[in-house]
Structure formats: structure tokens, C-alpha cells
Amino acid sequence: ISQFIAIDDDSYEEVWDRHLDILLRAQTRTIRAALPHLRSSGAGRIVNIASTEGLGATPKISPYTAAKHGVIGLTRGLAVELARDGITVNCICPGAVRTAMTQDFPEEHKQIFAKRRVPLARYAEPEEVAHGTLNFVLPASSYINGAVLPVDAGLTIKNA
């Protein structure tokens, strides 16, 4: 979900609420539902999904940007809050990924964007994002907590 909208648009607050509900509150609700099981395991792992947009900003998508920044804040806050329960909380920030959200973008536009902005000059496949996530749930990763990992082929570094 992402929608281009100016802050002075009449439907801005409706768009804002929808983005927060879907992109931030849904993750919070999921974590709350899983928390009893994670606590009883003594070594739970939470991996939130944000976006490179949570590490930066793009004009006219501020509801999306704010929600993704919120996911990163949620991750960091819960990493501290849940650590004593043996639960780690980390976050993946995918960049340009071939997903249902991007499938309707014209291929030519995707190629132009990738060549101009992504150092590896291509969109990621979903499996590549999954591999980044896997790093946080391995037993050997039990000391990684509160981390925010861009899986973006260097997009955030290039555009910093």
C-alpha cells in the first residue's frame, strides 16, 4: 500500500489512517497476539518489515513514510522492552522488490529507476529479502537485537 498524496489534499487524513492501520498497527497487533507464545519459548524472534522509506523520505507519500518510520521505532522500542524475556526484535528494510505492489509498474519505469538509483541496477527478488530475514532468526543470531537491516542493493547509501 502506498499512495501519492499532498498534505493539503482533502482525503489526506483518510489516507494517513489507512496507512497507519495497515502498515503499523497490523504489525503491532500481530506481535501482541504472538507474544504469549514467544515468551513461553524463552527465545522468541520478531522480524518486522519496514522499507527503505523508513530510512529516508520521498515527496507526497508521507503517510507511507511515517508508517515505515514507525515500524522502525516500534522495532527499537520492543527490542529493549522484550529483551529480558529472551525475545529479539529486528527489522528488515527492503528497497525496490518485485512484488504485487510493483507488478503493475511499467517495466520500462522499473528499469529506469533501478539503473538511476539502485547500485546493483535491478529490483530484488522476494527470496533475496527472505534471506536477509533469515539472518535474524538463526540460533547463531541470538545476540542481534534492535538491528535495522536495509536489503536494498545499496539504495539507501547511494541516496543518503
For 21-59, write each residue's pLDDT tens digit: 999 999 999 999 999 999 999 889 999 999 999 999 889
Domain boundaries of the chain, sorted by first residue = 12-152
Specify the pTM: 0.90
E strand map for the chain: 45-49, 88-94, 148-151
Check: CB of residue 126 under 8 Å from CB of residue 100. no
pLDDT in tens, 67-99: 999 999 999 999 999 999 999 999 999 988 877
> Does the annotation count 123 as an active-site position?
no
To the question of domain 12-152 being in CATH 3.40.50.720, the answer is yes
Give pLDDT, residue 10.
Answer: 94
Backbone torsions φ then ψ of 96, nearest 5 degrees: -75, 115
The sign of the dihedral angle between the CA atoms of 34, 27, 151, 115 is positive
